[in-house]
Chains A and B, each alone.
Chain A
Amino acid sequence: MFRRFVLAFVTLLLIVSMVPTAYGQGPVTVKLWMHVHPPRVALDEELIAQFEAENPDIDVEYTTVPDQEWDTALATALASGGGPDLFNQATFAMGDFYNQGILAPIDPVAAGYADVQAIFDAYSFGDSLLAGAVFDDVLYGLPTELSTYACYANDDLWAAAGLDPATDFPSTWEELKDVAEQLTIRDESGALVQRGFDFHWGNSIFTLLIFNPMVQQLGGNMIDEVNLTASIDTPEVRQVMGYWNDWVNTWKLGGPQYEIDRTAFLAGNLATDCDFGNWGVPQMVDAGINYSIHPQPRWAEAVSNNAMATYAYFFMVNSGASPEVQAAAWKLAGFLTDHPQEYFDVAGLFQSKKSFVESEAFAENEIMPIFLQEMGVSLYHPRIPGFFEVADALMRGRDRIIVGGESMDVVLPELEQEVNDILARAAAR
């Protein structure tokens, strides 16, 4: 009796707020949510006005949400039955949203394609790059921004050490260590004044964007996103963890205690950095860094040629919206993703539409072919429910070994168990 009362009470709490959306006659309204990204917003607004003029029966309600608030904002909005009809979702937490049944499969005809295959054909490396929005062989979105990391060298710091990035840039992690050593400057007390290269230690998601791809190069993979299981106590993980550990504790070339690599690179205190995307270029220009861009190193004995993880943002449609609204939303998504050159020129957002990638303008671009080439061979990070919780656990495990000095024999099996538990719990909700 008490139990039922409580349950009713708690459910009531939520239901009170669920204002039913009325679908009347007249024009359809599509609620669109995008991230705050100032250069893009103006272009969005311009194109939306054009779209509304061409489609008088569709109104677009445009909202921007800051990046760091996005997942919570979307989750709460969807929980209340409100929320957007069309939204620009990053691949990171996408697994949670898919798991909740929030995503609607793509409607190719409404989006302006003959069928789903035509969509894959319209993109360069369509199979691997659209994979970010594929679950169980069904496509759920159209990409607005595709990203992966490449290596940036600070040409001046390299020259000062007597090195030329064009010829000396290492192609393997083993060589990277030697080159980084030459680029490292220490003061008389042994404190690091300039680092040659360092990883991104500060944010847990890099365990899945950088660490895991290094494991994948060796043929392993920490997370199976289909079966939602972890395999972490493996020789491949040990090799990569050993390398990161030596980086900090044996070779003393860097580590989590120093300024974040990106910040240090832009301040001219780090000679090489391998986790900037193509979006890093304007920052280099602002900071006055002479840079050159290079592919990621691989292991000498790599079995997979993947670089760092691919990640992306996709237009996705709320499965809770009515069919008319869904169709209108896909139509809008199709329209907005049909301007890849403008989005790249104005906002630096890359979409691998063949119409753009095969153009002369793209071929003449100094850096994008490198990024596209890396993306073509790379893999998406795992898109799992509980993404951030898993990343958090992986970082804790990493730090137990590297910062806390615990043995991998103890930590890795425990970590594997912990991540398996998280995945099981996240999948069940």
Chain B
Amino acid sequence: MTEMTQQAAVRTRPTLGKRFRLWLADLRHHPGQVIWLAIALALAVSFAFPLYFMISSSFKAESEVLAIPVHWTPQDFQGLLNYQRALETVPLARYFMNSFLMAGIDVVVTVIFSAMAGYGFAKFDFPLKRLFFVFVLSTIMVPFQILLVPLFIEIHSLGWDDSYAGLIIPGIMNAFGVFMMRQFAYAIPDELMDAARMDGASEPRIFAQIVFPLLSSASASLAVIIFLFSWNNFLWPLIVIKSQEIMTVPVGITVFTQPHSAQPQWAVAMAVSTLATLPVMLLFVFFQRYFIEGFVLSGLKG
């Protein structure tokens, strides 16, 4: 992880002034690209605008958010007041802790077990292998709503109502991770493992010390994607969570979308929304490469 952070830091370091000069020179040499630049600029601005409005509204006074005519920038700048109010309205720190806990466990478990299963499917032969693989893979195709009611009842009969176990465990694995890891595990030369076996290494040890490190790039892509899905997961937490103690961020902030919530708190809602999006935004900025790779590979959006 530290290595990747350094790399990212190094990549963004080259001085901005120099980059800008290069950019201008490039533009002058190839004027044809101006059209594409203009189209792309229009696309980027129109798609990023709602998020700009979210962030800028989080610094507005309450009456400004829905003001007529529209306030495009905060005119009565509130500083961090709305953020402070958000923290007073709901136990946001607790929500964040729960979301980080859930996403963290999801990431660790998914990566490790997907790597294990992917390796097993790629490099071993055993009875029922094909059946098992098709079974695991088929879970990608099935919409979650089908599972909603029976899974809720199953969790209930396990006595996991309104608990971290009920919240986290049913979503802790992801078939896509298995599929992705299998693809990467195929690429590992058999000789590496065979040599280790000759030296008398045990199978778990080969996995931990040889195979898993070779899967680290794939693991990073899988990890950021799982983090995003888990962080934004809504439907299952909505159903299973009852108490504030285990509430996650997306469910907790629906308080601000309730039509009958007591207070008009649009500015506070914008502050909360900004906070809720901040972790994934940071993750995206720092681990962009893994993000894009993971997205392209997963083909899923929560």
- A/B contact in complex, CB under 8 angstroms: yes
Interfacial residues, chain A to chain B (CB-CB below 8 A) = 13-14, 16-17, 19, 36, 64-66, 68-69, 72-73, 76-77, 79-80, 187, 191, 193, 200, 202-203, 259-260, 262-264, 266-268, 283, 286-287
Known contacts A17-B156, A76-B161, A268-B63; A191/B68 CB under 8 A = yes
Tell me the smallest distance from the CB of A150 to a CB of chain B, in Å. 16
A262 touches B157 (CB 8 A): no
Among B31-39, B47-55, B72-80, B258-266, the stretch in contact with A? B258-266
Q: How many residues of B contact A (CB 8 A)?
A: 23
Interface residue from B68, B159, B243, B259 paired with A193 (Cβ < 8 Å): B68
A66 touches B264 (CB 8 A): no
Tell me the smallest distance from the CB of A47 to a CB of chain B, in Å. 22
**In the complex, per-residue mask of B75-88: 1 if CB is within 8 Å of any chain A CB, else 0:** 00000000000000
Instruction: Report B229-251 residues with CB < 8 Å from chain A CB.
Output: 241-244
Interface residue from A14, A193, A263 paired with B264 (Cβ < 8 Å): A263
Residue among B156, B158, B161, B264 facing the most chain A CB atoms (10 A cut-off):
B264
B259 touches A202 (CB 8 A): yes
Instruction: Report B149-163 residues with CB < 8 Å from chain A CB.
Output: 153-154, 156-159, 161-162
Tell me the smallest distance from the CB of B184 to a CB of chain A, in Å. 39
Known contacts A14-B157, A73-B162, A76-B156; A202/B242 CB under 8 A = no
A68 CA to B243 CA, complexed, in Å: 11
A306 CA to B244 CA, complexed, in Å: 38
A316 CA to B68 CA, complexed, in Å: 48
Known contacts A202-B260, A260-B259; A65/B242 CB under 8 A = yes
**In the complex, per-residue mask of B132-161: 1 if CB is within 8 Å of any chain A CB, else 0:** 000000000000000000000110111101
A12 — nearest CB in chain B belongs to which residue? Answer: B157
A72 — nearest CB in chain B belongs to which residue? Answer: B242
Q: Inside 8 A of B156's CB, which chain A residues have their CB?
A: 17, 76, 79-80
A330 CA to B263 CA, complexed, in Å: 36
A264 CA to B259 CA, complexed, in Å: 11
B243 touches A65 (CB 8 A): yes
A275 CA to B173 CA, complexed, in Å: 47
Interface residue from A262, A266, A287 paired with B260 (Cβ < 8 Å): A262
In the A-B complex, the 8 residue pairs with the smallest Cβ-Cβ separation, listed nearest first, are A202-B259, A17-B157, A263-B264, A267-B264, A69-B242, A73-B242, A260-B259, A266-B264
**In the complex, per-residue mask of B259-290: 1 if CB is within 8 Å of any chain A CB, else 0:** 11111100000000000000000000000000
Tell me the smallest distance from the CB of B165 to a CB of chain A, in Å. 14
Q: Inside 8 A of A17's CB, which chain B residues have their CB?
A: 156-159
Q: Inside 8 A of B243's CB, which chain A residues have their CB?
A: 64-66, 69
A13 touches B157 (CB 8 A): yes
A266 touches B263 (CB 8 A): yes
A263 CA to B261 CA, complexed, in Å: 8
A266 — nearest CB in chain B belongs to which residue? Answer: B264
Q: Inside 8 A of A268's CB, which chain B residues have their CB?
A: 63
A36 touches B62 (CB 8 A): no
| B4 close to A (CB within 8 Å) | no
Interface residue from A13, A36, A263, A283 paired with B153 (Cβ < 8 Å): A13
Residue among B62, B157, B258 facing the most chain A CB atoms (10 A cut-off):
B157
A68 CA to B153 CA, complexed, in Å: 20
A200 CA to B262 CA, complexed, in Å: 13
Q: Inside 8 A of A76's CB, which chain B residues have their CB?
A: 156, 161
Known contacts A65-B242, A66-B243; A16/B68 CB under 8 A = no
Tell me the smallest distance from the CB of A81 to a CB of chain B, in Å. 11
A196 CA to B262 CA, complexed, in Å: 20
What are 14 sample pairs from A and B whose C-beta atoms fall under 8 A apart? A13-B153, A16-B157, A17-B156, A65-B242, A66-B244, A69-B242, A73-B242, A76-B156, A77-B161, A191-B68, A203-B259, A262-B260, A267-B62, A283-B262
Q: Inside 8 A of A203's CB, which chain B residues have their CB?
A: 259-260
B63 touches A267 (CB 8 A): yes
A66 touches B260 (CB 8 A): no
Q: Inside 8 A of B244's CB, which chain A residues have their CB?
A: 36, 66
B262 — nearest CB in chain A belongs to which residue? Answer: A283
A259 CA to B66 CA, complexed, in Å: 10
A262 CA to B159 CA, complexed, in Å: 39
Q: Inside 8 A of B258's CB, which chain A residues have their CB?
A: 68
A66 touches B259 (CB 8 A): no
A264 CA to B65 CA, complexed, in Å: 13
A202 CA to B154 CA, complexed, in Å: 34
Residue among B156, B242, B244 facing the most chain A CB atoms (10 A cut-off):
B242
B162 — nearest CB in chain A belongs to which residue? Answer: A73
